[in-house]
Amino acid sequence: MLNTRNIYWLTGSAQASHLVIVKGQDPVLLVRRNIDLAKQHSWFPQSWIKPLGSTKDTIGTVMSGLKGSKGKVGMELNGLPASYYLTFSKGFGTSIQVENVSDALRNMRMVKDAGEIEKIENAAKCAEKTQDVVYHMTMENFKPGTTEREIAAEMLRVAKLNRSEHYSIYDNNMFTNFNNFFIVTSGAPLWTPSTFPIMSGAGFSPAIPYGPSDKVLKEGDMLVCDYAVLVDGYHSDHARSYVINGVYPQHYKERYSNLKLAYERSLDMLKAGTRTIEFFKVMATELDRLGDPDPNIKISTYFEGNGQYYQGLGHGIGLELDEPPFILKDNDVLFEKDMAISVEPKIMVPGWGAINFEDNFIISEKKPRRLTSTRFLEW
């Protein structure tokens, strides 16, 4: 294994390393740097932790474990650079078949243990504090001239004071893949996607075309804040929608209330035994049943998208920001007890704006346990 999240999950160390597991044998953690810290952090016996000089050491360890015989080797090919794949394939030779185990390893991490759940709970508490800052700055104490950038900076300050990293870990990659799709956005970017995720914000320049911008906010502007925090290696992903100074645009109250009601009525389905595809369908159906204040709009057209681009209703959270299971209209996965799930219902109406909520839950056999409870708007 080369993926830092999988290695940490199995060994307790996230130092630069390769993990070799051969059936019926003791695993070997080969550490490039820092081996002393790896021995300090890992729960592996020290005899299982060895120095890594180059990929030849990893190849040699695998071949020694297989005793030179034919066999299969699983590697996380989804995030493995082609140059590494070619190096390993050449080293293994034609007698070894390399197979992709990326999805299998991510799926193994879907159900969390008690220690993981505690860390996600701590991250959720931090995420709540960042959203409280936005409510204060936009709804209670708005100052003319405030920019998206200033709100983002204050959220980041609060997150750091509560032990969050300033990035998120995203995607199944050989190296720790640092990103932060820090969404503080208003105006046309609410329905005009730039890059992933769909509600990405304008950003400061085309070089990094997402996130907060220098836009000056004014009364009546819709604002969406979606910010992931990372505490002790585990994520929370939390979003709320606001209107600057409580000056509500046309249809805002009705659409906000309908999305929130559809959300709340669907949460009974968020439990062990429900399938992701069923949960998505229930919320979309309920939103259409509630209708829209504009009789010319079928609101489910803009559920999780802008009528052209779409994303999922939610995803697992843990060592990665977005990890299985993914709640998509065509993804059929069974919810299981102790999965950590982020649910993010949104509507994006072109030319009008967007509303987005996101909360984190722990799946149980009955009602899900909610980890984020930041206030919603009331009138």
What percent of the chain lies above the pLDDT cut of 90?
88
Domain boundary residue among 108, 125, 140? 108
Residue 181 has pLDDT above 70, yes or no: no
Instruction: Tell me what pLDDT residue 172 has.
Output: 63
Instruction: Tell me what pLDDT residue 69 has.
Output: 73
Question: pLDDT of 325-340, one tens digit each?
Answer: 999 999 999 999 999 9
| The pair of three-digit structure tokens given for residue 37, joined into one six-digit string | 């810290």
Instruction: Tell me what pLDDT residue 235 has.
Output: 97
DSSP state of 136: I
Task: Note whether 157 and 287 are same-domain residues.
Answer: yes
Task: Note whether 136 and 31 are same-domain residues.
Answer: no
Residue 326 burial (C-beta neighbours within 10 Å; 0-12, 13-18, 19+): middle
Question: pLDDT of 65-115, one tens digit each?
Answer: 998 778 899 999 998 999 999 999 999 998 899 999 999 999 999 999 999
Contact 161, 325 (CB under 8 A): no
Question: Residue 87 sits in which domain range?
Answer: 4-108
Residue 39 burial (C-beta neighbours within 10 Å; 0-12, 13-18, 19+): middle
Phi, psi (deg, nearest 5) at residue 184:
-130, 100
Task: Note whether 100 and 152 are same-domain residues.
Answer: no
Instruction: Tell me what pLDDT residue 179 has.
Output: 72
Dist CA 95 CA 148 (whole Å): 57
Instruction: Tell me what pLDDT residue 293 has.
Output: 96
Instruction: Tell me what pLDDT residue 178 has.
Output: 65
Task: Note whether 14 and 29 are same-domain residues.
Answer: yes
Contact 218, 245 (CB under 8 A): no
User: Which helix H or strand E contains 141, and what residues bound it?
Assistant: none
Residue 378 has pLDDT above 80, yes or no: yes
Q: CB-based contacts of 136: which residues, under 8 Å, 6+ apart?
A: none
Domain boundary residue among 76, 108, 140? 108
Task: Note whether 252 and 298 are same-domain residues.
Answer: yes
Task: Note whether 275 and 182 are same-domain residues.
Answer: yes
- Positions of E strands within the chain: 16-20, 28-33, 49-51, 71-75, 96-100, 168-169, 178-179, 183-186, 222-231, 234-243, 314-316, 323-327, 340-343, 346-349, 353-356, 359-362, 369-370
Task: Note whether 144 and 75 are same-domain residues.
Answer: no
CATH of the domain at 61: 3.40.350.10
Task: Note whether 76 and 131 are same-domain residues.
Answer: no
Instruction: Tell me what pLDDT residue 166 has.
Output: 87
Is 338 a member of any domain?
yes
pTM, 2 dp: 0.94
Under the banding of pLDDT at 50, 70 and 90, the label for residue 159 is: very high
Domain boundary residue among 70, 91, 108? 108
Task: Note whether 70 and 138 are same-domain residues.
Answer: no
Dist CA 32 CA 38 (whole Å): 10
Task: Note whether 140 and 275 are same-domain residues.
Answer: yes
Helix (H, G, I), strand (E, B) or coil at 238: strand
CATH of the domain at 195: 3.90.230.10
* Lowest-pLDDT choice from 190-204, 227-241, 343-357: 190-204
Instruction: Tell me what pLDDT residue 173 has.
Output: 65
Give the chain's domain count: 2
Q: CB-based contacts of 83: which residues, under 8 Å, 6+ apart?
A: none
